[in-house]
C-alpha cells in the first residue's frame, strides 16, 4: 500500500469512527487569529479566559496594540508564555493596522490559498500552523493544520516518515488527500481527537484503536523513534 493509499484508508476509518461534520470555527477571523496565538501550548479554557480578559481590559484592537506591555502580559496571563505572546500580538496588530488601515482580515477570503498563506506567514510570529488553522477554520481554504497530535498519530501510523517535521508533513499529507476544505477539516479534527483521546503521548490505548491493524508503531513493538514524540525524561 502506498503512503497516499494508507492516508486515505486512515482518513476513511476515522471518518466512520468519529463521523463527518461541516466546518465550524470562530465566526470572527480576528478572534481566530489572536485566539490561535494565545492557544499555543495552552488549554482551551485558559485561552478563552485570556482572550476574554484581554478584550475586557482593552476593548478595541488599537487599545490592545497600544497597551503597556506589562498590562497586556497580565491580561493574558492564563495563556502559557504570556511574555512571548503579548509582543507577538502587538506586532501583528501594528503591521496589520499599518498596512490595511484597520484590524480586519476579511480580505483574505478573496485571495487564493497561496496568496493568503504568503500574506499571513509574513506577519511577525505567524507560522504555518497558525496560518493553516485560520485559513481552514475561518475561510474554508483547503489547507491542513498539523499540530502535535496530528503529527504524532500520522507518524506512528507510518503515513509520514519517522523524521518528517510538522512543516514537511503539511505538504506531504496534503498531496495524499483531496483538495477539499471539508475533507481536510475532518482529517485534522479526527486525528487531533484521536491523539488526545486514544493515541496519547506516553500511553497510547492501542487495544481501543480502530487504526491498530495498520499502525507501524504498534507493529514495531512501540520501539520506533519518532521526531513527533518527546522522550519520557523531557529531553
Ligand atoms: S495503534 Fe496505538 S500507536 Fe498506533 S495509532 Fe493506534 S493508538 Fe496510536
Q: What is the pLDDT of residue 83?
A: 97
Q: What is the pLDDT of residue 225?
A: 87
Q: What is the pLDDT of residue 235?
A: 39
Q: Is the pLDDT of residue 230 over 70?
A: no
User: Which residue has the CA at smallest separation from atom 2 of ligand 1?
Assistant: 206
pTM for the complete prediction? 0.89
Domains of the chain: 3-21+145-219 (1.10.1670.10), 29-137 (1.10.340.30)
Quickly list DSSP for the chain. --HHHHHHHHHHHHHHHH--------S-HHHHHHHHHHHTTS-HHHHHHHHHHHHHHS-SHHHHHHS-HHHHHHHTTTSSSHHHHHHHHHHHHHHHHHHHSSS--GGGGGS-HHHHHHHHHTSTT--HHHHHHHHHHTT--S-----HHHHHHHHHHTSS-TT--HHHHHHHHHHHS-S-HHHHHHHHHHHHHHHHHTS-SSS--GGG-TTGGG-HHHHTTS----TTS--TT--
Region 28-37: what's the mean pLDDT? 91
Q: Which of 198, 202, 208, 226 to mutate to test the pocket of ligand 1 (most atoms within 8 A of CB)?
A: 198
Q: Which atom of ligand 1 is nearest to the CA of 204?
A: 7
Distance of alpha carbon 19 from its chain centroid, rounded?
Answer: 20
User: Which residue has the CA at smallest separation from atom 4 of ligand 1?
Assistant: 215
Instruction: Please tell me which residue, 29 or 26, carries the higher pLDDT value.
Output: 29
Q: Is the pLDDT of residue 112 over 60?
A: yes
What spacing in Å lies between the alpha carbon of 204 and ligand 1's midpoint?
Answer: 6
Q: What is the pLDDT of residue 115?
A: 97
Per-residue confidence at 141, pLDDT binned at 50, 70, 90?
very high
Distance of alpha carbon 138 from its chain centroid, rounded?
Answer: 13
pLDDT in tens, 153-177: 999 999 999 999 999 999 999 999 9
Q: What is the pLDDT of residue 234?
A: 43
Q: What is the pLDDT of residue 126?
A: 87
Q: What is the pLDDT of residue 28?
A: 87
User: Which residue has the CA at smallest separation from atom 8 of ligand 1?
Assistant: 199
Distance of alpha carbon 211 from its chain centroid, rounded?
Answer: 22
Q: Which atom of ligand 1 is nearest to the CA of 215?
A: 4
Q: Is the pLDDT of residue 125 over 70?
A: yes
Using CA atoms in the order 153, 157, 158, 164, what is the torsion angle rounded to 10 degrees? 10
Amino acid at each position: 500500500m502506498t503512503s497516499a493509499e494508507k492516508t486515505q484508508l486512515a482518513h476513511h476509518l476515522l471518518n466512520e469512527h468519529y463521523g463527518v461534520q461541516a466546518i465550524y470555527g470562530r465566526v470572527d477571523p480576528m478572534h481566530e487569529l489572536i485566539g490561535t496565538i494565545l492557544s499555543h501550548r495552552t488549554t482551551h479554557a485558559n485561552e478563552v479566559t485570556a482572550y476574554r480578559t484581554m478584550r475586557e481590559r482593552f476593548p478595541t484592537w488599537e487599545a490592545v496594540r497600544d497597551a503597556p506591555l506589562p498590562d497586556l502580559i497580565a491580561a493574558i496571563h492564563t495563556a502559557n508564555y504570556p511574555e512571548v505572546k503579548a509582543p507577538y500580538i502587538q506586532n501583528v496588530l501594528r503591521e496589520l493596522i499599518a498596512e490595511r488601515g484597520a484590524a480586519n482580515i476579511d480580505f483574505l477570503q478573496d485571495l487564493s490559498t497561496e496568496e493568503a498563506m504568503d500574506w499571513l506567514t509574513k506577519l511577525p510570529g505567524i507560522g504555518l500552523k497558525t496560518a493553516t488553522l485560520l485559513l481552514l477554520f475561518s475561510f474554508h481554504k483547503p489547507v491542513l493544520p498539523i499540530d502535535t497530535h496530528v503529527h504524532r498519530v500520522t507518524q506512528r501510523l507510518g503515513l509520514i516518515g519517522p523524521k518528517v517535521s510538522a512543516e514537511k508533513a503539511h505538504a506531504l499529507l496534503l498531496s495524499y488527500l483531496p483538495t477539499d476544505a471539508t475533507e481536510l477539516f475532518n482529517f485534522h479534527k479526527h486525528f487531533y481527537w484521536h491523539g488526545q483521546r486514544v493515541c496519547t503521548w506516553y500511553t497510547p490505548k492501542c487495544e481501543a484503536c480502530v487504526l491498530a491493524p495498520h499502525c507501524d508503531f504498534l507493529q514495531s513493538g512501540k520501539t520506533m523513534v519518532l521526531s513527533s514524540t518527546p522522550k519520557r525524561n523531557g529531553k
